[in-house]
Structure 1
């Protein structure tokens, strides 16, 4: 469906030249690993499981799916040293879960990326995780060479909801001469905000992850799809 606040632009979905895709919740199913890894990280910092403090922090983690994880931990633990300890513990825990085989591609995700690239569109995979975790996911799925480029927050300067990763994708690939020829797809409001702030003409929310249609549209989605498998048709490449 199309949101009522589609941006005014001379370009439409069929003019897309660069596609920036989120990973967990959009192209990758992690089966709740973020919450499990957070629980392990919180324990490492002395947060008692089942305590009101633990529940409050977990609610914030759920609400901020898609945001750069170090930013989340800065909010939760206050000082930089604690945030970095929590982030390191989280990344290690998530990596162990990934290495244990607890991650899979979402249906049609690989085929979608292959279809987009075959049609001549440059594709970039982005994440709110650190590079070490992103690489672990890519290895687990055999996706190291699937996309044209992969980016994490450290590669761009800031993670979502800032536009940095989308703009870095454009700068590094040189795929297009206009931000309005970019399509962004993700499952969270942070993905939508990032895409809109970057000036992308297509900012597509997908319903396979953290947020629902109302949340995605409130954050600026121009389209909402059942899954990323609907993206090629939206962009007119099938």
Structure 2
């Protein structure tokens, strides 16, 4: 019996039209970097500060030309805020109903994300997922390292009182999401095809299931 579902946010439960990766690429380019599409894909699901650091200093071996990592991260956040204002994010189809079905069946629901707390709180407020809608929200700045480390999953377990990782389901739309679930030893590790990766790319990472989206999770657990 699954007791806890740990789900990614952007591209998994929330449709934000890839804005996070567009903003990331634009901020890195503005600071003097030259990321390829493959470079951006490699950092999908990661801590955004870690991604910026790697995309810039990994190319040059030194600090970014456009300023400190903090300055580039601030630029990234400004670009993301503007993108969200122009095209507001929204829950992916069927996701609110799926989360309600999980919680009605006694499964706790936690969200995890490579965003920091400030970005996350603003995003969830935009879509109306406030207090009481979820059992826990864990951000990358709550833990020592982001994905593929399993720490956000463990923090979600701690926050919800779940002790047996075999009773945890994780789901995400990136390779790092699946790697984190596998590294945690989750009982069910689901890849969902609502993000930027197709079944071949996402399925290359270890997983237990590939689904069209989070809306299909209650059916997987025979709750629908």
Q: Does TM-score exceed 0.5, indicating one fold?
A: yes
Aligned partner of 2:53 in structure 1 is 74
CA distance in structure 1 between the aligned counterparts of 2:106 and 2:219, rounded to whole angstroms: 15
More moved, 148-157 vs 91-100: 91-100
| Greater relative contact order, per chain length (Cα 8 Å cut-off, separation 6+) | 1
TM-score (normalizing by structure 2): 0.89
Whether the 8 Å contact between 2:5 and 2:110 is mirrored in structure 1 is yes
Alignment of structure 1 residues 127-142 onto 2, 5 Å:
127-142=113-128
More moved, 217-226 vs 60-69: 60-69
Aligned partner of 1:227 in structure 2 is 213
Aligned partner of 1:158 in structure 2 is 145
Does structure 1 residue 208 correspond to structure 2 residue 189? no
CA distance in structure 2 between the aligned counterparts of 1:161 and 1:181, rounded to whole angstroms: 20
Q: How many residues align?
A: 216
Residue 54 of structure 1 aligns to a residue in which SS?
A: coil
Aligned partner of 1:32 in structure 2 is 18
The list of structure 1 runs, each at least 4 consecutive aligned residues, that deviate by more than 6 angstroms after superposition, is none
Residue 160 of structure 1 aligns to a residue in which SS?
A: coil
Whether the 8 Å contact between 2:102 and 2:109 is mirrored in structure 1 is yes
Aligned-pair CA distance for 1:38? 2.2
Instruction: Give per-residue Cα distances to partners, 1:60-113, cap 9 Å, x unaligned.
Output: 123321111111111012249732222221122212322344312110111111
Does structure 1 residue 64 correspond to structure 2 residue 51? no
TM-score (normalizing by structure 1): 0.84
Aligned partner of 1:217 in structure 2 is 203
Aligned-pair CA distance for 1:54? 3.0
Residue 68 of structure 2 aligns to a residue in which SS?
A: helix
Aligned-pair CA distance for 1:44? 4.4
CA distance in structure 2 between the aligned counterparts of 1:208 and 1:102, rounded to whole angstroms: 17
Aligned-pair CA distance for 1:59? 3.7
Aligned in 2, Cα 1:164/1:196: closer, same or farther, shift over 3 Å?
same
Aligned partner of 2:60 in structure 1 is none
Please, which of 182, 186, 204 is the counterpart of residue 196 of structure 1?
182
RMSD: 1.8
Aligned partner of 1:96 in structure 2 is 82
Aligned-pair CA distance for 1:43? 5.3
